[in-house]
Structure 1
Amino acid sequence: MIEFSHVSKEYSNGVKGLDDVTLHIGQGEFVAIIGLSGAGKSTLLRSINRMHEITAGTLQVNGTDVASLNGKKLRSFRRGIGMIFQSFHLVGRTTVIKNVLMSKVPAMPFWRVVPGIFTKEEKIDALEALDKVGILEKAYMRADQLSGGQQQRVALARTLAQHPEIILADEPVAALDPVTARQVMGDFAKINKELNITILLNIHHVELALAYAERIIGIRSGKIVFDGKASSVDKAVLAGIYGEEMPEGVEELYEAV
């Protein structure tokens, strides 16, 4: 599915975002990437859809060399990969359903894009995506009238309307309160199980990573320092990932893990 082979990413200032990363992620996995800020979590995630260019090694998705794609082929490839960010990237003054329908625009002919003409089938598809994340009743509300958790669910529904094989989520619950963060993580877990979509997400909240993801990848200074089942993460593993710079809440986990 996703294959990193000795992948490195060096930025123009000489900083290594990734350092000789080799790993395989199979279809239908739910993977959480954890580590300190600046460890390379976002770089790893964003290299998969080529938001970041790797500088060494090879990265393949379903047998396709990502670095070889350009133009239409790259745009088509990216349509199969949903991307969710910490900020929701919604158009606040328009309706929820119209925000979800925006996922259809890249594949639409120009004559439909300008006036915003969507087919009945596309509208039904958008409504079904909203139903999957439990906010169908909000379809005709303005997006800026929703809570933060609801807006993130709209962003997730918009991604689902792409019918992706992979969803990449870059700190999707960082801006949410603890209760809402768990609800959104539950949505990811449900989608992963029911639709068999591969999900990779970066997350600062270690307790949520352990509670919802099946596999944990720990990254430190651009290197993979742990890759295993969430159930196998213990005090020693967390110490290897975070060293002496434990984020808030990790110390408490020591007693629970």
Structure 2
Amino acid sequence: MIEFKHVSKLYSNGVKGLDDVTLQIKQGEFVGIIGLSGAGKSTLLRSINRMHEITSGELIVNGSEVKSLKGIELRKFRRSIGMIFQSFHLVTRTTVIKNVLTANVPDMPFWRVLLGAFTKENKIAALEALDKVGILEKAYIRTEQLSGGQQQRVALARTLAQNPKIILADEPVAALDPVTAKQVMDDFKRINKEMNITILINIHHVELALNYANRIIGIRAGKILYDGPASEVDEDVLNKIYGKEITKEEPKWESIIEY
């Protein structure tokens, strides 16, 4: 359970990243977060694992009040939340499996990290994670030899190796072509269904959000303007969120991208 209670975030330049946000997200939901650039999508997402500190209100994640966490408690809390970025954040000059194994580094003694001495259990878990995203055969290939879509799958496998309860994905398909983006979104959807992992995706492509997410959160200037089923998002809702005349079908992939 993720619960925002009147949460606001005010940046030092006076911009409101979040403005009195109240919402609940249950375990196992697949949530798409949509809105213009600068609307507060990333702020909403990154406040959940405290990459961004909220200014006021209360944010409770799996029973923990996020603002109160410190030190070991905060690190342990963050281990239960996977994070996927647009830019993959991989070490491209090493193998795929070594990238996935880095998920274990926070829990390892320093000498093991220094020597790269991962356990047999670590390696089995890494291979299982790669299998779940369909690239087990790439385990011992240098990451730089993979396509962008395959690299994003490596990043997803690394997150799965953490055994997370929640996955936060910040524009995970923005750098991918439409076909590859669909393949990666298929992976997210399958993992959500099979593993009951809560997934929140900040996404510019409205069409993808509506096709894959069960629930849509629409945000503008830090305020939640829509929170409900993807099936009920119509042109009036989209016009309210984006402030311009658009439709769900036209112009497809370029409907809402960076402004």
Task: State the TM-score, normalizing by the size of structure 1.
Answer: 0.96
- Residue in 2 that maps onto 1:11: 11
Note the C-alpha offset of 1:40.
0.1
Contact kept in structure 1, 2:3 and 2:59, CA below 8 Å: yes
Q: Structure 1 counterpart of 2:141, which letter?
A: M
Q: Percent identity?
A: 78
Note the C-alpha offset of 1:251.
3.9
1:167 and 2:159 correspond? no
Deviation string 1:100-133 (CA, Å, 9 cap, x unpaired) is 0000000111121110100111100000000000
Contact kept in structure 1, 2:234 and 2:248, CA below 8 Å: no
- Looking at structure 2, the residues matched to 116 and 107 of structure 1 have their Cα atoms a distance apart, in angstroms, of 13
Flag as ranges the 4+ runs of structure 1 deviating above 6 A: none
- Looking at structure 2, the residues matched to 143 and 5 of structure 1 have their Cα atoms a distance apart, in angstroms, of 41
- Residue in 2 that maps onto 1:118: 118
Alignment size in residue pairs: 252
- Residue in 1 that maps onto 2:147: 147
- Residue in 1 that maps onto 2:128: 128
- Residue in 1 that maps onto 2:220: 220
Contact kept in structure 1, 2:191 and 2:197, CA below 8 Å: yes
- Looking at structure 2, the residues matched to 188 and 89 of structure 1 have their Cα atoms a distance apart, in angstroms, of 18
- Residue in 2 that maps onto 1:157: 157
- Looking at structure 2, the residues matched to 191 and 43 of structure 1 have their Cα atoms a distance apart, in angstroms, of 24
Note the C-alpha offset of 1:245.
7.2
- Looking at structure 1, the residues matched to 159 and 170 of structure 2 have their Cα atoms a distance apart, in angstroms, of 13
- Looking at structure 2, the residues matched to 63 and 164 of structure 1 have their Cα atoms a distance apart, in angstroms, of 15
Contact kept in structure 2, 1:206 and 1:250, CA below 8 Å: no
- Looking at structure 2, the residues matched to 133 and 190 of structure 1 have their Cα atoms a distance apart, in angstroms, of 9
- Residue in 2 that maps onto 1:57: 57
- Looking at structure 2, the residues matched to 79 and 252 of structure 1 have their Cα atoms a distance apart, in angstroms, of 39
- Looking at structure 1, the residues matched to 59 and 250 of structure 2 have their Cα atoms a distance apart, in angstroms, of 35
In the TM superposition, 1:196-235 aligns within 5 A as 196-235=196-235
In structure 2, list runs of 5 or more residues that go unmatched. 253-259
Q: Structure 1 counterpart of 2:211, which letter?
A: A
Q: Structure 2 counterpart of 1:162, which letter?
A: Q
- Looking at structure 2, the residues matched to 56 and 29 of structure 1 have their Cα atoms a distance apart, in angstroms, of 25
- Residue in 1 that maps onto 2:255: none
**Secondary structure of the equivalent of 1:105?**
helix
- Looking at structure 2, the residues matched to 75 and 109 of structure 1 have their Cα atoms a distance apart, in angstroms, of 15
**Secondary structure of the equivalent of 2:93?**
coil
**Secondary structure of the equivalent of 1:97?**
helix
Note the C-alpha offset of 1:250.
6.0
- Residue in 2 that maps onto 1:72: 72
- Looking at structure 1, the residues matched to 77 and 251 of structure 2 have their Cα atoms a distance apart, in angstroms, of 42
Change (3 A) 1:56 1:177: same
In structure 1, list runs of 5 or more residues that go unmatched. none
**Secondary structure of the equivalent of 2:89?**
coil
- Residue in 2 that maps onto 1:109: 109
Moved more, 140-149 or 110-119: 110-119
Note the C-alpha offset of 1:244.
1.8
Note the C-alpha offset of 1:249.
7.2
Deviation string 1:22-67 (CA, Å, 9 cap, x unpaired) is 0000000000000000000000000000000000100000111000
- Looking at structure 1, the residues matched to 69 and 141 of structure 2 have their Cα atoms a distance apart, in angstroms, of 39
